[in-house]
C-alpha cells in the first residue's frame, strides 16, 4: 500500500472515527471532551521559543501509560531542563496520566494520523524527540517527524508473529514507517528479529520496562490491611478481565473453592456495571469497591470497579488469574502480579507478553493452562497448598528483580539519539 492511498482511506474513515468517539462517550464521557486535540487544536497557546525544550512520549492507553512510568521518571531526572508531554488515545489512558503523573507532565490526546493534523501537532509542540510506546506505528506521523528533524524512538517495542504478518501485508507502507524510526528499543530477541525484517534499521534489545515498574506502596499497604481482616480466608483474583471472560471463569469456578473470596477486576471501566449485573444475576453476594463496601464473611464476590488500584488488588490476592489470556486478547500484564509476589495462572492467549510468560513459567512463578476449566482446577490446588504458593511468590519477586534495567538501557538510547540529532545538520 502507498501512503497516499492510506491517507485517502483515513480521510474517508474520519466520520466513522468521530461517530465512534461520540458512541463511546455514552459510557466514558472523556471521549466527548477535548476532541479538538485529536485534530491538533489546543486551548493553551503555542509554546514560545523561550519555553523549555520538550520531550514527547506517546502511550496509547492505561497499560502503556503505567508501563512508561519508570522511563518518564528517568527522563525528568536526566533532563530537568526539558518539559515532558505525554499523549494517549483513550479516555481511560488520560485519566491514568493524571493519576500517575499529576501535574509533572503536559497531557494531550494523540493526533489523528492525517498529514495536515500531524504537521500542526509538531509545529505547536516542537518536540526534540518522540518516544512511542510498544506498537504504535503511524506512517504520516513518522514521515512528518522525519521532515521536521524530530527523531522518533519506538520504546519497549514488542511485535508478535501475528502482528508482523499483518504489517507485512501492508508492504512498502509498513517498511517505510519502521525504517523511519531513528532507534527501536525491543523487549526481546524475537521482537527484534521481526522488527528488522520489517525494515527497522537500528534495533537494540533493552528488555521490558514493566519489570522496572514499582508497585504503589500506599495501595499495597491498603490491600494488606484489608487482607488481614479476612483472617484465614483465601482470595482468588480475576485480574484485568476482558469481555466474556468473567462469564467463562465464573462458570468454571462455580462456588469459590474452600470459601475463598473471589475478587473480580474488569480491565475497562465501561464494563464495571455490566459485570456487576452479571454477578447479581447469579445470585452471588456482591460488594463493590467503588462504593466503599467491605467484603464480609457472607460476601462471595468483591468487584474491583476502580481504576489505578491493581497494587491494592494484588496485595489482597493469594492467587491471580490473568485476564485477557482466556479469550483471544493476548493477556494483560502478569509482571505486576509477579512483582507483588502473587502466584499467577494464565490461559493460552499470551501473545502480548510472550517473553514474560515464558520467563515466569520457567521460573515456576506462573502456570499456563489450556482453558478456564483448567485454570479453576489449578487455582483450587494452589489455594490449598501454602508451601507451593509461597515458593511461586518468591520466584516471581526474584524474576522481576533479575530482569530490571530496561529503563537505563532506554535512557542510553535516548541520550545517543539526542546527541546524534544535535550533531547533525540543523
Which residues have C-beta within 8 Å of that of residue 280, sequence separation ≥ 6? 286
3-state secondary structure of 207: coil
**E runs forming strands in 13-164:** 54-58, 83-88, 106-109, 129-133, 152-157
Cα distances (Å, whole numbers) of residue 26 to 20, 92, 243: 10, 14, 18
Cα distances (Å, whole numbers) of residue 283 to 254, 278, 301: 12, 9, 11
d(CA 330, CA 264): 19
Catalytic residues: 64
The two beta strands, 261-266 and 235-241, are parallel
Q: Of 89, 34, 82, 92, which Cα lies nearest the Cα of 58?
A: 89
Cα distances (Å, whole numbers) of residue 112 to 35, 89, 148: 11, 9, 18
Query: Under a CB-based contact definition with an 8 Å cutoff, are residues 295 and 278 in contact?
Result: no
d(CA 332, CA 349): 10
Give, for 19, the enclosing helix (H) or strand (E). Answer: helix 3-24
Please give the angle made by the CA atoms of 150, 154 and 208, to the nearest 5 degrees: 145
Please give the angle made by the CA atoms of 192, 113 and 127, to the nearest 5 degrees: 75
For residues 196, 198, 202, 207, the Cα torsion angle rounded to the nearest 10 degrees is -60
Amino acid at each position: 500500500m502507498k501512503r497516499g492511498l492510506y491517507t485517502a482511506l483515513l480521510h474517508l474513515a474520519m466520520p466513522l472515527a468521530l461517530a465512534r468517539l461520540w458512541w463511546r462517550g455514552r459510557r466514558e464521557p472523556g471521549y466527548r471532551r477535548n476532541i479538538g486535540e485529536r485534530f491538533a487544536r489546543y486551548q493553551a497557546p503555542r509554546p514560545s521559543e523561550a519555553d523549555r525544550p520538550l520531550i514527547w512520549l506517546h502511550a496509547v492507553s492505561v497499560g502503556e501509560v503505567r508501563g512508561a512510568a519508570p522511563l518518564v521518571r528517568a527522563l525528568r531526572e536526566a533532563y530537568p531542563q526539558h518539559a515532558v508531554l505525554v499523549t494517549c488515545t483513550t479516555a481511560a489512558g488520560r485519566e491514568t496520566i493524571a493519576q500517575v503523573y499529576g501535574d509533572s507532565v503536559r497531557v494531550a490526546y494523540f493526533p489523528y494520523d492525517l498529514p495536515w493534523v500531524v504537521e500542526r501537532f509538531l509545529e505547536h509542540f516542537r518536540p526534540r524527540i518522540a518516544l512511542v510506546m510498544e506498537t504504535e506505528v503511524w506512517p504520516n506521523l513518522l514521515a512528518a517527524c522525519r521532515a521536521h528533524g524530530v527523531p522518533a524512538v519506538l520504546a519497549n517495542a514488542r511485535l508478535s508473529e501475528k502482528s508482523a504478518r499483518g504489517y507485512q501485508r501492508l508492504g512498502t507502507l509498513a517498511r517505510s514507517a519502521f525504517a523511519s524510526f531513528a532507534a527501536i528499543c525491543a523487549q526481546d530477541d524475537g521482537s527484534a528479529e521481526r522488527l528488522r525484517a520489517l525494515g527497522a534499521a537500528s534495533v537494540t534489545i533493552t528488555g521490558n520496562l514493566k519489570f522496572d515498574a514499582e508497585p504503589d506502596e500506599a495501595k499495597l499497604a491498603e490491600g494488606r490491611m484489608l487482607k488481614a481482616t479476612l483472617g484465614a480466608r483465601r482470595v482468588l483474583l480475576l485480574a484485568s478481565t476482558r469481555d466474556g471472560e468473567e462469564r467463562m471463569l465464573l462458570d468454571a469456578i462455580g462456588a469459590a473453592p474452600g470459601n475463598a473470596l473471589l475478587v473480580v477486576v474488569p480491565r475497562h471501566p465501561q464494563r464495571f456495571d455490566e459485570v456487576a449485573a452479571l454477578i447479581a444475576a447469579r445470585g452471588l453476594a456482591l460488594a463493590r469497591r467503588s462504593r466503599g463496601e467491605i467484603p464480609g464473611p457472607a460476601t462471595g464476590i468483591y468487584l474491583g470497579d476502580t481504576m489505578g488500584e491493581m497494587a491494592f488488588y494484588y496485595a489482597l490476592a493469594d492467587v491471580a488469574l490473568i485476564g485477557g489470556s482466556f479469550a483471544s486478547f493476548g493477556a494483560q500484564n502478569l509482571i505486576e502480579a509477579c512483582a507483588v509476589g502473587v502466584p499467577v495462572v494464565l490461559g493460552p492467549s499470551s501473545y502480548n507478553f510472550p517473553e514474560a510468560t515464558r520467563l515466569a513459567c520457567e521460573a515456576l512463578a506462573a502456570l499456563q493452562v489450556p482453558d478456564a476449566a483448567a485454570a479453576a482446577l489449578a487455582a483450587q490446588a494452589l489455594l490449598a497448598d501454602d508451601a507451593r504458593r509461597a515458593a511461586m511468590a518468591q520466584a516471581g519477586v526474584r524474576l522481576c528483580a533479575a530482569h530490571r534495567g530496561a529503563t537505563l538501557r532506554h535512557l542510553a538510547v535516548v541520550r545517543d539519539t539526542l546527541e546524534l540529532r544535535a550533531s547533525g545538520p540543523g
